[in-house]
Amino acid sequence: MENTKVDYKNVFYPPGGILIWILIIVELITFGAALIGLVVSSRENPSQYHESRMMLNVVYGAVNTLFLLTSGYFMAVSIRSLKQEDIKRTLLNMRLAMTGGLFFILLKSVEYSEKFAHGLTLGYNTFFNFYWLLTGFHVIHVTVGLVILLFIYFGLKKKKTGYDILDAEAGAAFWHMCDLIWLLLFPTLYLIL
């Protein structure tokens, strides 16, 4: 791994490389299409969607939003530290970013267990079908993001000199995509319908 210099003025070499951005665009289109489907479906039975939304815990959703946004902040700081070749600060901020992701998954697990306990599972109604598919798919993305960040973290920790900024930026871009998707899911599922 080497400190790779990249021409950021070239659109084909955005932070993390073009392939991660193609993946991000595809993921955003997928989640966007599902959210549009949710909104269109809610127009067919607005009272069911409203009553179902009222069964969600807005505090859990808001706290999870704070976890992910804080985590994203620490990931951005870690990339800045990496560009300044401050590996110690990079690793600290990556640990904080991953901690935010773990807290997100922990609180989401509590929320999921409460839904199961009340019988609000996949198949309960159309709203909860969307809820489980959208939030479950997002939790998978957060989990994959944590695995990616762990690989980057241990790679940087093991390597005393030289690093590949593109790998770290690609991991950070994926992590920020998880933030962005949640910023679309939270208001749509918890606040609007």
> Given pLDDT bands bounded at 50, 70 and 90, which one contains residue 12?
low
What's the predicted TM-score (pTM) here? Answer: 0.87
Per-residue confidence (pLDDT) for residue 159, from 0 to 100: 76
Dihedral, CA of residue 141, residue 119, residue 55 and residue 98, to nearest 10:
-30
- The structural domains of the chain, ordered by start, are 18-38+58-192 (1.20.120.80)
Binning pLDDT at 50, 70 and 90, where does residue 180 land?
very high
Which two structure tokens, joined as six digits, stand for 16? 């993390």
Interacting residues of 67 by C-beta distance below 8 A, sequence separation 6+: 100, 101, 103, 104, 107
d(CA 130, CA 97): 28
Q: Residue 49 corresponds to which tokens in the numbers above?
A: 């969607």
Residue 1 confidence (pLDDT) = 42
**How many other CB atoms are found less than 10 A from the CB of residue 19?**
9
What is the token pair recorded at 4?
A: 């790779």
Q: What is the pLDDT of residue 150?
A: 96
pLDDT reading at 2 higher than 80: no
Max alpha carbon distance in the chain (Å)?
60
What is the token pair recorded at 87? 């590996």
Per-residue confidence (pLDDT) for residue 15, from 0 to 100: 64
Examine the pLDDT at 55 and tell me if it is beyond 90: yes
